Structure 1
Amino acid sequence: MLQSLVNKYNISGPRYTSYPTVPYWNSDTFSLEKWKDSLVKSFNESNTNEGVSLYIHLPFCESLCTFCGCNKRITKQHGVESPYIESVLKEWNLYLELLGEKPKIKEMHLGGGTPTFFSTENLKRLINGILGASEVAENHEFSFEGHPNNTTAEHLQMFYNLGFRRVSFGVQDYNETVQKAIHRVQPFGNVKRVTDAARKIGYTSVGHDIIFGLPFQTLEHIEQTILKTKALLPDRLAFYSYAHVPWIKGNGQRGFDEADLPSAKLKRQQYELGKKLLAEVGYTEVGMDHFALETDSLFQSMQNGSLHRNFMGYTASKTQAMIGLGVSSISDSWYGFSQNVKKIEDYYRLLGENTIPVYRGHILSDEDLIIRKHILNLMCQFKTSWRDKTLYFKEIPDVLIKLSEMEKDQLLNINAHGIEVTPLGRPFVRNICMAFDVLLQRKQPDTQLFSMTV
């Protein structure tokens, strides 16, 4: 039955790290001044209680991983580090001037690129520069992404000393053929080294990222990767489908032939096998594509209803305002989104003009805010309701018509005031969210914009 559902619903669709999704942002009505106003409004409403989240994008990598869809700059010249750190701190200072009050930082995440491309000295200068003008929330969660091949004990200790307690390592797959195809060769011993070192230092949450649907990947590869993962027992896992979107990401995802990719049927079998093996040792599925042990904050947030999703993925708690620093970073004031310029040269130029380096964004309408809440509910809690009249919008009857076929397929249950996704329907939550996406329904894209949903 599951395979027939995959065949039926495996279509191109958003991953819903935001609503509206980026291709549906209305940049014609957006301006930097409107973005600033929305952020100040959100900050004034939430800083005292919630605090803010920070995402810092560190784009440099020494080599190109061909599976990667992130904004990156490939170089072995580490002289790029210091100018970039100085620019990120300048951008932060522009935000501090705008906000006019010391922010309370609840969450901070360093992503890339490869954050551990940077030296401990430069990373320490960055974090101290951020924290020096801020207050740190008592229940803060600081995290960073580490490459197993170049994360050192010094990196781990430095971050720990500055309040970081969570780290995630990109594993992808342990098979050498797959690793060579995606240009990401890293032995199991390297992953074990950094995982053990992080635990010895005192990190409370060590995560691994694993991808299925990679070129040349078989069921046996998935089984062997999960078995090795079970030996290390990371606190949480991102186990997600490779998003093949070379028409967006350029030549980086053209390092192998389309025929080398697993079929949709095999991809689903890979996921179901991985999920089964993970459940055997105590991992629980959290939201979409994530798994955690019961001792991890991600699992606990799902249990207590505080699980949140934004451009950093799933997080254990919500802040209304999220500021993105660095090239291509996306910020979220709840009332609006903004994205920084993608080229480092443009980023430096705008900061040299004392301008926050935003190049596009979207200010949410009242309708956007309502639908955003429904999609967040579905992605984080697998249910939503419009019993509260403020969450009703005029297209609800049309949404229910679109969902009726999914109800027949036992993917969800519809009641008088809401819907709830069934266990069978969880792999199809992106499809369910698409029924609520009125912007997508009103204007279907002329070309493929998104990865496949299943």
Structure 2
Amino acid sequence: QWHLGGGTPTFLQPDELRRLGGMVRKRFNFSEDLEAGVEIDPRRISRDTIVALQESGFNRASMGVQDHHPEVQKAIHRIQPYAMTAQAIDWLRECGFESLNVDLIYGLPHQTVQSFEQTLEDTLKLQPDRFAVFSYAHVPWIKPAQKIFQERANLPSPETKLELLKLTIEKLTAEGYRYIGMDHFAREDDELSIAQKQKTLQRNFQGYSTRGGVDIYSFGMSSISQSEKAYWQNLKELPAYTQSVEEGQLPIHRGYLMSEEDLLRRQTIMRLMCDLELDFDHMSRLLGVPFEAHYQRELASLEDLREDGLIAFSQGGLKVTDLGRLLIRNIAMRFDGYQAQRTEGRFSKTI
């Protein structure tokens, strides 16, 4: 797999994309069934951009849309007419791209249930293979660019955001998309849907995947790599990153070596998020430890989630309910050894 992301790689000119593709292919050998995905900003492409990506070997695309409503687009300073998005998708299909994903965001300024329903209906007309529908988190102290949203009063309430998520799930599943969970939807015949049915779905920090146990090597500022037992992140600032590379040094900013306990908990959280259930006997065999004994404290802490209807205990296991799927992050947090145990509500913070 090869992924070109980081916001908007289509900021590069077509000839620059061709050059980049040639450099990567010169240094890596790709298999016949290569999955090569790229993030696309429809506002920054021409047909030649798509041709250049296709010539470089890309066959999958993820497109940022956020919302089609003009008032919302104006509020977030992202003017992207519907015709522009439709044209980009037409170009991608003409160039033989096999899988198209559209990114939407709920919780943006001026969004309402009615306006977002129209955005969903308009996007469905484009017939993407997958949807990623993310929750907007307003954190201008972390992301200074969000300061352009001058009036927080225009943001939907947590209750409205839940309504938007509920609407999204109902609308997309009615149109034949499977709710994979954690913001993602895919057609029933998509490999993600098939993997979830077969309980072979995987997840990493980039999202859902059908391929587990693979190393991820990232290039570029602030990018994160992953091996079996470690994570490491590149330098975040261009001058320091460039200097390190020019001096022949790996531009690594920080790293983390996982403990055996970390590995157990990562596997547990992954299976919970992907399968939406935990079979205790199966997990004991998978982890090589007696699951119920190892997670005695965590399992005991789940009672409030059961009372709230988020999970249901069965003979030798637990399952996430339909309501619980909306709050799967909160459920998974109970198995995170570094997450302080909290029993008070405030679920909306992860919606």
User: TM-score, normalised on structure 1?
Assistant: 0.72
- Give the alignment partner of residue 325 of structure 2, picking from 401, 412, 426: 426
Matched, 1:390 2:284: no
Letter of the aligned partner of 2:153 in structure 1?
A
Structure 1 position 410, deviation (Å):
2.3
- Give the alignment partner of residue 210 of structure 1, picking from 104, 120, 129: 104
Structure 1 position 429, deviation (Å):
0.6
Structure 1 position 202, deviation (Å):
1.3
1:292-303 equivalences in 2 (<5 Å): 292-303=186-197
Letter of the aligned partner of 2:340 in structure 1?
Q
Matched, 1:374 2:273: no
- Give the alignment partner of residue 272 of structure 1, picking from 162, 166, 182: 166
Structure 1 position 297, deviation (Å):
2.6
Structure 1 position 184, deviation (Å):
0.8
1:193-342 equivalences in 2 (<5 Å): 193-249=87-143, 251-256=144-149, 257-342=151-236
Whose RCO is larger (CA < 8 A, sep 6+)? 1
Structure 1 position 156, deviation (Å):
1.5
Letter of the aligned partner of 1:252 in structure 2?
A
Q: Does 160-169 or 416-425 show the bigger shift?
A: 416-425
Matched, 1:452 2:345: no
Structure 1 position 417, deviation (Å):
4.5
Give the 3-state SS of the residue equivalent to 1:139 in structure 2: coil
1:19-418 equivalences in 2 (<5 Å): 107-249=1-143, 251-256=144-149, 257-384=151-278, 385=280, 386-388=283-285, 390-392=288-290, 396-415=295-314, 417-418=316-317
Deviation string for 1:304-343 (max 9, x for gaps)? 3332221222223224200111000000102000011111
Distance 1:244 1:395, change over 3 A: farther
CA RMSD of aligned residues (A): 2.0
In 1, Cα distance between equivalents of 2:327 and 2:277? 13
In 2, Cα distance between equivalents of 1:417 and 1:342? 46
Give the 3-state SS of the residue equivalent to 1:342 in structure 2: coil
Letter of the aligned partner of 1:124 in structure 2?
R
User: TM-score, normalised on structure 2?
Assistant: 0.92
Structure 1 position 109, deviation (Å):
0.9
Structure 1 position 180, deviation (Å):
1.2
Distance 1:346 1:299, change over 3 A: same
Q: Which runs of 5+ in 1 are unaligned?
A: 1-106, 445-449
Give the 3-state SS of the residue equivalent to 1:149 in structure 2: helix
Q: Which runs of 5+ in 2 are unaligned?
A: none
Structure 1 position 395, deviation (Å):
5.2
Give the 3-state SS of the residue equivalent to 2:31 in structure 1: strand
Q: Judge conservation of contact 2:106–2:134 (CA < 8 Å) in 1.
A: yes
Letter of the aligned partner of 1:275 in structure 2?
I
In 2, Cα distance between equivalents of 1:419 and 1:233? 35
Aligned residues: 342
In 2, Cα distance between equivalents of 1:392 and 1:430? 24
In 2, Cα distance between equivalents of 1:451 and 1:209? 21
Distance 1:140 1:391, change over 3 A: farther
Give the 3-state SS of the residue equivalent to 1:135 in structure 2: coil
In 1, Cα distance between equivalents of 2:29 and 2:2? 12
In 1, Cα distance between equivalents of 2:348 and 2:225? 23
Distance 1:329 1:337, change over 3 A: same
Distance 1:391 1:238, change over 3 A: farther
Distance 1:127 1:411, change over 3 A: same
Q: Who is 1:37 aligned against?
A: none
Give the 3-state SS of the residue equivalent to 2:256 in structure 1: strand
Distance 1:140 1:123, change over 3 A: same
In 2, Cα distance between equivalents of 1:116 and 1:190? 15
Q: Judge conservation of contact 1:330–1:340 (CA < 8 Å) in 2.
A: yes
Q: Judge conservation of contact 1:111–1:145 (CA < 8 Å) in 2.
A: yes
Q: Judge conservation of contact 1:371–1:437 (CA < 8 Å) in 2.
A: yes
In 2, Cα distance between equivalents of 1:316 and 1:186? 32
Letter of the aligned partner of 1:273 in structure 2?
L
Distance 1:292 1:223, change over 3 A: same
Q: Judge conservation of contact 2:62–2:101 (CA < 8 Å) in 1.
A: yes
Distance 1:129 1:319, change over 3 A: farther
Letter of the aligned partner of 1:139 in structure 2?
D
Distance 1:288 1:391, change over 3 A: farther
Structure 1 position 247, deviation (Å):
2.5
Q: Who is 1:7 aligned against?
A: none
In 2, Cα distance between equivalents of 1:440 and 1:242? 22
Deviation string for 1:388-436 (max 9, x for gaps)? 2625476511101211111122211234654321222101110111100
Q: Who is 1:441 aligned against?
A: 340
Distance 1:238 1:141, change over 3 A: same
Q: Who is 1:86 aligned against?
A: none
Deviation string for 1:282-314 (max 9, x for gaps)? 111113111111233322332333322212222
In 1, Cα distance between equivalents of 2:147 and 2:68? 21
Q: Judge conservation of contact 2:192–2:210 (CA < 8 Å) in 1.
A: yes
Distance 1:391 1:413, change over 3 A: farther
